[in-house]
Structure 1
Amino acid sequence: MNVVGASPKRSDILQEKQIAHISQALQSGEIASGRGLNQSTTLKHHGDTRWGSHYGTLLSLLALFSSTIEVLEIIVDDASNSEQRYEATNLLDNMQSYSFVFCLHLMRIILGVSNELSKALQRKDQDIANAIGLVKVCKQRLQEMRENDWDSFIVQVSSFCDKHNIDVPNMDDIYIPRGRSRRKTYETTNLHHYRVDLYYSIIDMQLQELNGRFDEVNTKLLLCIACLCPDNLFVAFEKPKLLQLARCYPKDFSAIELMALDDQLQNYIIDMRSSIEFSDLKGISNLAKKMVEMGKDKVYPLVYRLLTLSLILPVATATVERVFSAMHFVKTKLRNRIGDQWLNDSLVVYIEKEIFDNIDNEVIMRRFQNMKTRRGNM
């Protein structure tokens, strides 16, 4: 991405090469023409804080593979210095290897399996029930890949290699890592290396990650929280699951309060479903706001306490992970000695940028002026 997209000139060359490939494919009948098809594109750069962007990067690289190789060959011939020439030569050598193509296709499929789940977990208005359903889909799809999809996958990789003139190794031969002599490697076949050491190993790591983050306890907890969702006139409401959720917080709900909550929940759901103000609500956060607005937090204090605890949970998990990702931008190498308070304040402004964009600059200036007399530049 950095080498080929380093300048507008190289990006233009990449697009010209891709247009030439598309024209040739249209003439040969390899692809069909139509409205909205075969649009010009470019290499998509990934982002450090969104895994979905890596998936988009792999898709664009697969679509522009031949054009990218040709641009790298041009850089090797016409580079202005030896460093650029060496970097392009090294990239060409790696990209035109079977190992690179194998990993490129494998990571594209694995990130594609989890792409919908990744997007669902990044949304602020998370539909927890659907997110948990996507977790189950990911686990099932990865398990099917492990058990049944090896043959079709290896055919797909070999077909791509044949199309781009990349040598396909004999799977029964001894595997030799690139850049190492045969004497310094342990005896294993290409089939064992690609199937066991890479294919099975990476899928197992992904399954282990999903099982670790979404174990049985966490899944039940999230499904219980989903019962508070007000969508479609509280269709997801289930009192037993909400009582089970309250039992997960023994310091917040005593035994007596649990019995009181049992009675209060029944009155609460009848009241909510019969109130016009609560009929069109979407999301747990909007439910909490409306309850405060209508004074229902005072009428049903135990239900409101359960609701606030449910709102805190995503903040304590997914949002915290986003905070650590945001630190990459806020606490840079030039600001590596930033204090905790300043870091916290900066992260709040960065993460909640949508809220702070709505605050007028005059309000901010008056706030700082009231803290300490300053000379304002108007």
Structure 2
Amino acid sequence: MDALYVPQRRSRRFVKKATNLHHFRVEIFLGEIDLHLQELDNRFSERSMELLTCMACLSPKDNFSSFDKEKVLKLASYYPEEFSSFDLMTLEGQLDIFMENMHNDERFQNLRDLNSLSMMLVNTKKDKTYPLVYLLIKLMLILPVATASVERVFSVMTYVKSKLRNSMGDQFMNDCLVTFIEKQVFLQVPDEKIIDRFQNMKTRRMQL
């Protein structure tokens, strides 16, 4: 690795002299890491990265080694409808007792993710003891699903609201999106029931 790097199928005149160790570490390994970091920056906004960082601070992996109370409280502040100012103060005190309990309870020692943590809290009835912590964990678990659902709706919207149907109202567009996204559910409904439904909505001149 201390020998000079010899480029393959390239002129040596345009390659800076460096050892094999420098080439593979700096130009290959670190270069690939920079590409991944750039892709992450383009994919996730600053707020999304902050949310992910705060969520990781309540992970039970390695006996809650990444726990950070300030970041957990910051995460809770992003849900003002769920956590009032009084709830945040209560949560701050509840987190200290919660973490002490987690470290002393062997049933929570080998958990690796938030999903297993939430199930263990329910099984041990501790979701009733620490309701605000459990509420925050539930919000953290549904956040990826909610985000994916929103992205799915926006991608489908390009098909439903096309240039030929750009003047449709909000209610009609919402109905079309529901039927388009949940098509597997609606395919289970017989055509006869749909016809009867429209027939009974109002008096018609002819039978559908």
Structural mapping, 1:302-321, within 5 Å: 302-318=132-148, 321=151
Counterpart for residue 46 of structure 2: 216
52, 59, 70: which one pairs with 1:240?
Answer: 70
Structure 2, unmatched stretches of 5+, are: 1-30, 157-175, 186-208
Distance in 1 (alpha carbons) for counterparts of 2:105 and 2:183: 40
Aligned Cα RMSD in Å? 3.0
The Cα shift of 1:223 comes to 0.3
> How many pairs does the alignment contain?
136
Using the aligned pairs only, state the percent identity. 42
Distance in 2 (alpha carbons) for counterparts of 1:295 and 1:343: 37
Counterpart for residue 141 of structure 1: 35
Distance in 1 (alpha carbons) for counterparts of 2:69 and 2:177: 46
* Alpha-carbon spacing, 1:262–1:346, altered in 2? closer, same or farther (3 Å): same
One-letter amino acid matched to 1:313:
L
Instruction: Provide Cα deviations, 1:231-261, integer angstroms capped at 9, x if missing partner.
Output: 1111111101001111111111111111000
Structural mapping, 1:1-378, within 5 Å: 140-141=34-35, 207=38, 210-318=40-148, 321=151, 340=178, 343-344=181-182, 346=184
Does the 8 A contact of 2:57 with 2:72 survive in 1? yes
One-letter amino acid matched to 1:346:
Q
Does the 8 A contact of 1:231 with 1:283 survive in 2? yes
Q: Describe the SS at the equivalent of 1:346.
A: helix
TM-score (norm 2): 0.56
Does the 8 A contact of 1:224 with 1:245 survive in 2? yes
Does the 8 A contact of 1:247 with 1:253 survive in 2? yes
One-letter amino acid matched to 2:130:
Y
Distance in 2 (alpha carbons) for counterparts of 1:138 and 1:321: 28
Instruction: Provide Cα deviations, 1:326-370, integer angstroms capped at 9, x if missing partner.
Output: x8xxxxxxxxxx9935852727xxxxxxxxxxxxxxxxxxxxxxx
Instruction: Provide Cα deviations, 1:17-66, integer angstroms capped at 9, x if missing partner.
Output: xxxxxxxxxxxxxxxxxxxxxxxxxxxxxxxxxxxxxxxxxxxxxxxxxx
Does the 8 A contact of 2:51 with 2:75 survive in 1? yes
Instruction: Provide Cα deviations, 1:198-242, integer angstroms capped at 9, x if missing partner.
Output: xxxxxxxxx5x7435322222111100011111111111110100
Distance in 1 (alpha carbons) for counterparts of 2:97 and 2:183: 42
TM-score (norm 1): 0.32
Does the 8 A contact of 1:229 with 1:236 survive in 2? yes
Distance in 1 (alpha carbons) for counterparts of 2:36 and 2:66: 29
Structure 1, unmatched stretches of 5+, are: 1-136, 144-206, 328-337, 348-378
Does the 8 A contact of 2:55 with 2:72 survive in 1? yes
Distance in 1 (alpha carbons) for counterparts of 2:129 and 2:64: 18
The Cα shift of 1:273 comes to 1.4
One-letter amino acid matched to 1:216:
E
Distance in 1 (alpha carbons) for counterparts of 2:104 and 2:63: 9
One-letter amino acid matched to 1:140:
D
* Alpha-carbon spacing, 1:232–1:210, altered in 2? closer, same or farther (3 Å): closer
Query: Which one scores higher on RCO, CA 8 angstroms, separation ≥ 6?
Result: 2
Distance in 2 (alpha carbons) for counterparts of 1:287 and 1:339: 35
Does the 8 A contact of 2:91 with 2:132 survive in 1? yes
Distance in 1 (alpha carbons) for counterparts of 2:153 and 2:177: 16
